[in-house]
A and B are shown apart, each in its own frame.
Chain A
Amino acid sequence: MFVSCRRAAQMISRELDEPLRRGERFALGVHRFLCTDCRRFSTQLGEVEESWRSFVRDDADDTGEAMPVEVKARIEAHVREATQGGDSTGNSR
């Protein structure tokens, strides 16, 4: 049931994505119990995952930069062109 730190680290990562098989879970549990390095790594990797994940999934904050003026102008022009003409709900401001 002995696994190396290299192998344990792989399982620590995979554990974040899917449940491990029972044998793997057990082997990892034992390893983590005995190995300070991997225990610390496991906590840290979990935190990194959580942060990066919310960076990806959460919607942008309201505090960052605005889109460049020229980008906004182009988008506005395009939207105006595509949505005007014939439809009653297309009244612009």
Chain B
Amino acid sequence: MSRQQVPRKGQKPDKHIIDPLQWVEQHGDYLYRYALRLVRKPDAAEDLVQETLLVAWRGRDQFAGLAQERSWLTAILKRKVIDWLRKRIRERNRLKFEDTDTFTDDLFSKSGKWKKSPKRWKQDAPETENEREEFWETIHACSEQMPLKLRDAFVLWHLEDQSSEEVCEKLKVKPTHLWVLLHRARFRMWQCLSKKWYGLEPS
């Protein structure tokens, strides 16, 4: 934001040349992958990256090389993704409560005990770069399997740096409802990762 760093209009931008095509070259793949990871729709990811670059271009005076170019672009992309997810949720009213989802309840007996005790995990969390890559793939696969609204609720909840009240208000749901959605999402992820990644000890 400081004057020295921003080329004024009409001046030659000698110190900090901003070139949006260079952004595509250097950060395009990265931004696209991230967008795709969160929204899971290639066409939407493309639009989001494109919009991000244009927003960044229009706001280039604010940038002034103070942060890493990539983190600046990623921050803009996150905002865009949040808006996009919220819109998807609102349009389809997909956070509407359905009590037909018995996935979590089915794990417990009538008296509220575990039907099958949670088993010990065989594997550790990923350590090497390769393992990490594989682990992300597994999380990806697991999140693909669950109902979209559960995944969206989880993603949105963790992308927004806001209180539960604010998130609930924006999504027009009650907090108790949000907890249930998050709870259901987590249970599914837990069960899926236990099977597909961690591996279970035979009882």
Contact = CB atoms under 8 A, between A and B. Distances in A.
Interface of A: 4-7, 9-10, 13-14, 16-18, 36-38, 40-41, 44-45, 47-49, 51-53, 55-57, 59-68, 71-72, 74-76, 78-80, 82-83, 87-93
Interface in B119-172: 120-121, 125, 129, 132-133, 135-136, 139-140, 143, 154-155, 157-159, 164
A44 B121 contact: yes
B112 A49 contact: no
Given A52-B154, A78-B54, 4 more contacts: A10-B183, A44-B198, A67-B49, A93-B21
Contacts of B132: 61
A88 B32 contact: no
B9 A88 contact: yes
Contacts of B13: 88-89
Given A13-B182, A17-B164, A44-B121, A56 B158 contact: yes
B22 A67 contact: no
A85 to B, nearest CB: 12
A86 to B, nearest CB: 10
Contacts of A61: 33, 132-133, 136
B28 A72 contact: yes
A68 B37 CA distance: 15
A37 B194 CA distance: 15
A74 B183 contact: no
Contacts of B38: 56
Chain B residues touching A, majority SS: helix
B18 A79 contact: no
B136 to A, nearest CB: 6
B33 A65 contact: yes
Given A51-B139, A56-B159, A37 B118 contact: yes
B117 interface: yes
B121 A45 contact: no
Contact of B24 (A49, A60, A75): A75
